[in-house]
Chain A
Amino acid sequence: MTPMHIVFLIVAAVTLFAAGMVVTTRPLMHSALWLILTLGGVAVLFAMLDASFFAVVQVLVYIGAIAILVIFAIMLTRHIAEDTSPQHNKGWWLPLVGMVVLFVGIVVGLSQWSGFETPLPVLPAEANNLVLFGQALTSPDSYVIPFEVASILLLAALMGAIYLGTEGKRGKK
């Protein structure tokens, strides 16, 4: 038991508890706040996996943008989403059983795999992942096409969201 093990166990327990609260609490606003805690826990795990860039992106994009969007959507649709009415479908136990079976299946299946207990390899000290990643994203030999496709996807999402968001105003003209 090194300190890293203890940190991992605490972070994983808090994150999974928060994720459980996201899918079970009745007031939707509480769900959204638990979601922020879950996303923060995932960001800590990214940092533990030496991907500090994605830890920062997780905080900026997920907590800073996506969680805030979700909270906005909850507040805009608040009158209908009464906190007292049931928030789960009638047959909610069926997915619960299915998910427990799926989880056990995944874990058992993975434990058969020989690489399951791979220990942590040491990263070469001189490697600067962030610089290499930036170069790879703009180099024609590596990932410039996926990078551009991602930017087109974002542009399309932007236009689609604006189109849907201004629907009422266009109808009045």
Chain B
Amino acid sequence: MSPTIPLSWYLVFAAALFCLGLFGMLARKNMVAILMGVELMLNAVNINLIAFWRYLYAPDLTGWAFVAIVFTAAAAETAVGLALIISIYRRRKIVVAEEANTLKG
């Protein structure tokens, strides 16, 4: 075994985290829980980006710029998503995704 952690460990970990997040997104009923699944997937993507940066492109900082954009997109997505969920809840008193199937409240 090599003295340092090989890249594969991080990639397998990120794949497992991504699959768990996708499972949560597909299987959960509550819209907030679906958003939590999306957060797990975005975290897996960030782990992958940082791992590839560290192992393959270390001094160049393009990977960091990508991760910063992913962070921004995740923050924006959560803020707007939760505002939408709370707005739907206020109008129709539902939080289950399959009941929110009409666009006009």
Residues of A within 8 A of B (CB): 1-2, 4-5, 8, 12, 15-16, 19-20, 22-23, 28, 31-32, 35, 38-39, 42, 45-46, 48-51, 53-54, 57-58, 61-62, 65-66, 69-70, 72-74, 76-77, 80-81, 86-89, 92, 95-96, 98-100, 102-103, 106-107, 110-111, 115-121, 123-124, 127, 129, 132-133, 136-137, 142-143, 146-147, 150, 153-154, 156-158, 160-161, 164-165, 167-168
Contact = CB atoms under 8 A, between A and B. Distances in A.
Contact of A123 (B58, B77, B83): B58
16 contacts: A22-B37, A23-B28, A51-B54, A51-B64, A62-B43, A66-B75, A72-B82, A115-B7, A118-B6, A121-B54, A127-B59, A143-B65, A154-B76, A158-B79, A161-B80, A161-B83
The main secondary structure of chain B at its interface with chain A is helix
A82 to B, nearest CB: 10
Interface string B47-74: 1001101111011010011011101111
A82 B6 CA distance: 44
A119 B93 contact: no
A137 B5 contact: no
Contact of A88 (B7, B29, B35): B29
Interface residues of B, number: 75
Contacts of A70: 32, 35-36, 39, 78, 82
The main secondary structure of chain A at its interface with chain B is helix
A132 B59 CA distance: 10
Given A156-B76, A168-B90, 12 more contacts: A22-B37, A23-B27, A32-B36, A39-B43, A42-B17, A70-B82, A77-B85, A77-B86, A86-B29, A121-B58, A154-B75, A154-B76
B50 to A, nearest CB: 5
Interface of B: 1-13, 15-24, 26-30, 32-33, 35-37, 39-40, 43, 46-47, 50-51, 53-56, 58-59, 61, 64-65, 67-69, 71-80, 82-87, 89-90, 93-96, 98
